[in-house]
């Protein structure tokens, strides 16, 4: 009978370790790319919400609608709360909040208006 060689060559182990390091590096880079692309898709939703909220605030001030309001615009819900300033009787403090369908806050906006 022949002798069975039970030892491994060191070059085989080194090649395996180098291959594992390369594979882990590639998976790490792919994970980073995936996470960053999914995070930017959420920010486009926030940008759209901020743009809508800005336009809503401008139309509120232009039409002089200084009262509390909740309204749904597409996939967003806009809430407007109006409170009188404690210092000046004609000064109104307006807070705008925009939420998504899951009722999580996407953006908020504050402004002051003078009631005539």
pLDDT confidence band for 77 (50 / 70 / 90) = very high
Q: Is the pLDDT of residue 100 over 70?
A: yes
Domain ranges of the chain: 10-114
Q: Is the pLDDT of residue 82 over 70?
A: yes
CA atoms within 13 A on the CB side of 50: 7
Q: Which helix (H) or strand (E) holds 109?
A: strand 105-114
pTM of the model as a whole: 0.61
CB 89 within 8 Å of CB 104: no
| Lowest mean pLDDT segment, chosen from 15-19, 66-70, 80-84, 88-92 | 88-92
**Whole-number Cα distances in Å, 76 to 9, 18, 51, 63, 91:** 64, 50, 12, 21, 28
pLDDT of residue 96: 95
């Amino acid at each position: 009978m022949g002798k069975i060689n039970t030892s491994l060559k060191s070059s085989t182990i080194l090649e395996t370790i180098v291959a594992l390091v390369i594979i882990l590096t590639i998976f790490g880079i792919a994970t980073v790319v995936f996470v960053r692309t999914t995070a930017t898709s959420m920010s486009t939703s926030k940008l759209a919400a901020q743009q809508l909220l800005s336009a809503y605030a401008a139309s509120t001030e232009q039409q002089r609608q200084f009262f509390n309001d909740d309204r749904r615009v597409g996939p967003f819900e806009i809430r407007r709360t109006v409170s009188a300033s404690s210092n000046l009787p004609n000064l109104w403090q307006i807070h705008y909040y925009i939420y998504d369908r899951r009722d999580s806050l996407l953006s908020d906006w504050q402004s002051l208006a003078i009631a005539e």
